[in-house]
Amino acid sequence: MRVRLALFGAVLCLYLAPTLCAQDAVKVDPKHYTVVTENDQVRVLKVHYGPHEKSVMHSHPATVAVFLTDAKAQFTFPDSKTQDLVIKGGDAQYSLATTHLPENTGEQGMDLVVIELKGKAAKSAKAATR
């Protein structure tokens, strides 16, 4: 019984490790993410990926992303599921807090502005989506 419990614990730790280790995009990937401004309500990030560039697994709180260029991208999530996106410059999207690994799968650079919501703004955004 103890062996089963220990094995279950080990498997659970391995499964949750990518999520638990995911960190702030600016800290783990400063090549692609730059802080433009920050206060107690939001943090605004400038994001640039060259063609076929890939990030590392990282986390964001609830966000609004505004795409400045047309782009093709793929997000990989901690459970290894993927999501492919085709985006037009000028598109905007809201996302709940997430952990992901982005990749520019296109032939052109990908530029966007990410507004991370925090404090009261993040709590209000969660309530608005219910």
Please give the CATH superfamily to which domain 23-128 belongs. Answer: Jelly Rolls (2.60.120.10)
User: Cα separation of 27 and 33, whole Å?
Assistant: 9
Each residue's pLDDT tens digit, 86-117? 999 999 999 999 999 999 999 999 999 999 99
For the cut 50, the answer to whether the pLDDT of residue 15 exceeds it is no
For the chain, the average pLDDT equals 86
Q: Give residue limits of the domains in the chain.
A: 23-128
CB 92 within 8 A of CB 67: yes
- Residues 49-100 have pLDDT tens digits of 999 999 999 999 999 999 999 999 999 999 999 999 999 999 999 999 999 9
Helices and strands, counts by H and E, the chain:
3, 10
